[in-house]
Copies of this chain bind each other. A is one copy, B any other.
């Protein structure tokens, strides 16, 4: 293998770098590097997964943006106390947490200074470039883990890169882009791959897609699939292959933790429930009754519980039902996927992939560039892609 990047360091720049998912990912990566935990939950580490020449955990360097000021070590201890991180682990990887913590900057949300959006982008680009240079990183992947945004209005200016640039330069006060798109724009400008793990807009604008293709940078998203929708995408093909006719699919999601609190705002939840609902209709090709609820239940802490009720018709009109309850720990489900995605994007970038990576739809509720929501089919696509990444 003559890969020039081989052995080089890969930067993972997390937007929301002091949140639960980020803290779990950073802690977990150090634990995996030191082989003190098994790689449970890491798709790319499973024995079935094709060798893809992905960067090893020890080659990942973490940094990011966050306005929260609680240090990572403190956050890790809170998660340890909540039972999410194994006892004693934060202490064992103390140095790694301190190092990552020192690379966290306030970012676009810094409200102290009044800045126009172009100015913010310029500063974000500078942050990313200095992260790369300072640590001699061969690649940098930016992963958006921040809170779900309220939907941003569609604007004329999003339709091509030139219009977007003009709009940002001409009007200092306009809100041309959603915050997630500011980060995506900056990432692409700085030649960093970009992943949106949230349902926010991120890179999904024609102008940004144009930029990604032009700059030869890949991006992926949106909205990490870690619970109810994961199960949906596994069950839908079962019903379809058995020619059972789904009549209604109703779901209630109870979330504790920060994500739940954020989604309790009706504006923000809209992005989420609509991406959750799309899965069913798009897969089946016919319209299905039922609603999706997301409730914030602080008492649940780091846990989330989803209950789904499916009614369906079988032979000769026989009505039947299926219900499931999924009781998961959100950050533990999301964090290993963040590591998977960072490694896959770094390698894909290296291999010359550019623009939307629809091959990574397996990871997302609302996969960019992909109409396929059936998990098994998504997994096959992912495996082929991974095999290709591993070829000389």
Contacts and interface: CB of A to CB of B under 8 A. Distances in A.
A29 to B, nearest CB: 11
Contact of A299 (B86, B247, B295, B333): B247
Q: Interface centre among A89, A333, A376, by most B CB within 10 Å?
A: A376
A324 B324 contact: yes
Nearest to A242: B43
Residue of A39, A295, A333, A375 with highest tally of chain B CB at under 10 A: A295
Interface in A105-154: none
B327 A320 contact: yes
Contact of A243 (B41, B240, B316): B41
A111 B309 CA distance: 39
Contact of A332 (B48, B314, B376): B314
Q: What is the predominant secondary structure among interface residues of chain A facing chain B?
A: mixed
Nearest to A375: B238
A201 interface: no
A2 interface: no
A315 B298 contact: no
Nearest to A38: B245
Interface string A249-279: 0101010000000000000000000000000
Q: Which of A24, A31, A41, A323 has the most C-beta atoms of chain B within 10 angstroms of its own C-beta?
A: A41
Interface in A196-251: 230-231, 234-235, 237-238, 240-245, 247-248, 250
A311 B297 contact: yes
B314 A241 contact: no
Copies of this chain, tallied across the complex: 4
Contacts of A40: 243-245, 313-317
A84 interface: yes
Contact of A81 (B42, B48, B87): B87
A63 interface: no
A327 B316 contact: no
Contact of A329 (B238, B314, B326): B314
Given A252-B307, A295-B250, A309-B307, A243 B315 contact: no
Nearest to A322: B326
A50 B363 CA distance: 29
A84 B315 CA distance: 9
A41 B315 contact: yes
B252 A293 contact: yes
A285 B323 CA distance: 27
A379 interface: yes
Interface string A346-389: 00000000000000001000000000001111010000000000
Contacts of A311: 297, 299-300
A171 interface: no
A42 B313 CA distance: 12
B327 A321 contact: yes
A316 B242 contact: no
| Residue among A86, A305, A318, A322 having the largest count of chain B Cβ atoms under 10 Å | A318
